[in-house]
Chains A and B, each alone.
Chain A
Amino acid sequence: SQTIHQWPATLVQPVGSPLSLECTVEGTSNPNLYWYRQAAGRGLQLLFYSVGIGQISSEVPQNLSASRPQDRQFILSSKKLLLSDSGFYLCAWTRGVAGVLRSYNEQFFGPGTRLTVL
């Protein structure tokens, strides 16, 4: 069976510090991977998605970046955090054919990371 892991579960960081959140998927190959942010009162916003190693698409301009160094690893980073980066960050995956983004497959979400920037 497939599982998705995120860590850390919670994080408190000062403004201006760097960030690295990790997401890994087990039990599948060539998944499409996604990073979402859930901010209070604003619902879920797609930040990045990836259809393969080294392939990253950004949905909104921001202070964050993403990387996919391995097939089942997706990393969210920042060089200098802002107060507005606080939120609940969710990683998700769908079954995908390499290089193809499938829109109608169910997305499976990880447990999330709650980030507080002070």
Chain B
Amino acid sequence: GNSVTQMEGPVTLSEEAFLTINCTYTATGYPSLFWYVQYPGEGLQLLLKATKADDKGSNKGFEATYRKETTSFHLEKGSVQVSDSAVYFCALTPYGGSQGNLIFGKGTKLSVKP
């Protein structure tokens, strides 16, 4: 079946540190891959996405590259800020649209200290 595995949190970093949140997936065919962010007390917002192999999604200084050979979509940011503190969810939708729903990882909580 389809599934997403992301690193366990919480992750605590100092401001300006480098961030990596690992995400790997299991899926048949060619899924689309997403990172969503949830700020405290709010719903989820799309952070970035990639729809085919080798695509790189980027937004707000965050990047993730769709690696089919390693079935991974790791999230990175070169210099985190306190305002990046949130829960980050990796997700996929299976190719073809017949299922149509997002399959989420369990989320990784990031805390950035000044």
Which residues of A line the B interface, CB within 8 A? Answer: 32, 34, 41-46, 49, 51, 59, 90, 92, 100-104, 106-112
A109 touching B45 in the complex, CB below 8 Å, given contacts A42-B106, A43-B105, A44-B89: yes
Q: Mark each residue of chain B from 30 to 71: 1 if its CB lies under 8 Å from any CB of chain A, else 0.
A: 001010100000111110010100000000000000000000
B46 touches A111 (CB 8 A): no
Q: Does B93 touch A at the CB level, under 8 Å?
A: yes
A3 to B73, CA, bound (A): 29
A46 touches B102 (CB 8 A): yes
Candidates A41, A45, A90, A104; contact of B97 at CB < 8 Å: A104
B43 touches A49 (CB 8 A): no
Chain A, residue nearest B106 (CB): A43
Q: Shortest beta-carbon distance, A8 to chain B, in Å?
A: 14
A32 touches B100 (CB 8 A): yes
A101 touching B105 in the complex, CB below 8 Å, given contacts A43-B89, A109-B44: no
B97 touches A101 (CB 8 A): yes
CB contacts (< 8 Å) of A92 on chain B: these are 43-44
A43 touching B49 in the complex, CB below 8 Å, given contacts A90-B44, A100-B97: no
Q: Mark each residue of chain B from 73 to 113: 1 if its CB lies under 8 Å from any CB of chain A, else 0.
A: 00000000000000001000111111111111111000000
Q: Shortest beta-carbon distance, A28 to chain B, in Å?
A: 16
CB contacts (< 8 Å) of B89 on chain A: these are 43-44
A104 touches B93 (CB 8 A): yes
CB contacts (< 8 Å) of B49 on chain A: these are 106
A103 touches B106 (CB 8 A): no
Given contacts A44-B104, A107-B44, A107-B46, 4 further A-B pairs with CB under 8 A are: A43-B104, A43-B106, A44-B102, A106-B34
CB contacts (< 8 Å) of B98 on chain A: these are 101, 103
CB contacts (< 8 Å) of B93 on chain A: these are 103-104
CB contacts (< 8 Å) of B99 on chain A: these are 101, 103
CB contacts (< 8 Å) of B107 on chain A: these are 43-44
A-B contact pairs, 25 of them (CB 8 A): A41-B106, A43-B106, A44-B89, A45-B104, A46-B102, A59-B101, A101-B97, A101-B99, A101-B101, A102-B97, A103-B32, A103-B94, A103-B95, A103-B97, A103-B98, A103-B99, A103-B100, A103-B101, A104-B32, A106-B34, A106-B49, A107-B44, A109-B44, A110-B43, A111-B43
